[in-house]
Chain A
């Protein structure tokens, strides 16, 4: 059974600081996605990582994928309050024609002034 593990699950950080969220998964996959969820809202797609070594950046967030290590990271640079949300990684485990996205438990990020 596929396991997708994120850590930390809770992260409280000060504005201006840097931090990294980790996403490990237990089976071969070359498709990994990061989502953001604000309280009471739906999931918003942040990054799509489709190959080993993929790196994507958007504003203060940067995501990378190492398929050999089965690891993705979401790096936060100079955090601001607006980044407070829950961040999920999701791994596509399907080898055939059927999609199957399995999510990590999420990292609840709180950025304090």
Chain B
């Protein structure tokens, strides 16, 4: 069974459209993330979210919004898509709460969604 799954794998859309990427994890983790990987392969955190707190990277445009219907899902909604939004978007999850010494907060990644805005 896939631990972190995201759909779709590929998404091609026109500028100005609104789109969503879905993410689900079956690891029982309490924290989920969205990362953006640009053409230079740099990975930037966009959001970090658990059931109590959303941390937003201040550089993320407010056209991007995470939506979490429950602990196992964190979907990414993007409004008014722009050419510069083209990238690979990765969802990830980790167990971050109840941390103590030597606790593993390793993140597990989905397979990525390649978004192309034309």
Contacting residues, chain A, for B104 (C-beta < 8 A): 31, 48, 50
Task: Identify the interface centre among A31, A97, A102, A106: most chain B CB within 10 Å of its CB.
Answer: A97
Contacting residues, chain A, for B45 (C-beta < 8 A): 100-103
| A75 contacts partner chain B, Cβ-Cβ < 8 Å | no
| A84 contacts partner chain B, Cβ-Cβ < 8 Å | no
Interface residues in B27-43 by Cβ distance below 8 A to A read 31, 33, 35, 40-43
A61 to chain B, nearest CB (A): 16
| A43 contacts partner chain B, Cβ-Cβ < 8 Å | yes
Decide if A108 touches B41 in the complex (CB within 8 Å).
yes
State A92–B33 Cα separation when bound (angstroms). 13
Which among B31, B40, B42, B102 is the interface contact of A99 at CB below 8 angstroms?
B31
Contacting residues, chain B, for A108 (C-beta < 8 A): 41
Decide if A43 touches B33 in the complex (CB within 8 Å).
no
Interface residues of B, dominant DSSP: loop
Decide if B43 touches A88 in the complex (CB within 8 Å).
yes
* Chain B residues with a Cβ closer than 8 Å to the other chain, count: 34
State A99–B75 Cα separation when bound (angstroms). 18
Decide if B109 touches A42 in the complex (CB within 8 Å).
yes
B102 to chain A, nearest CB (A): 5
Q: B102's closest neighbor in chain A, by CB?
A: A50
State A97–B100 Cα separation when bound (angstroms). 10
| A25 contacts partner chain B, Cβ-Cβ < 8 Å | no
A110 to chain B, nearest CB (A): 14
| A86 contacts partner chain B, Cβ-Cβ < 8 Å | yes
Residues of chain A touching chain B, judged by Cβ–Cβ distance below 8 Å, are 31, 33, 35, 37, 41-43, 45, 48, 50-51, 86, 88, 90, 92, 94, 96-103, 105-106, 108
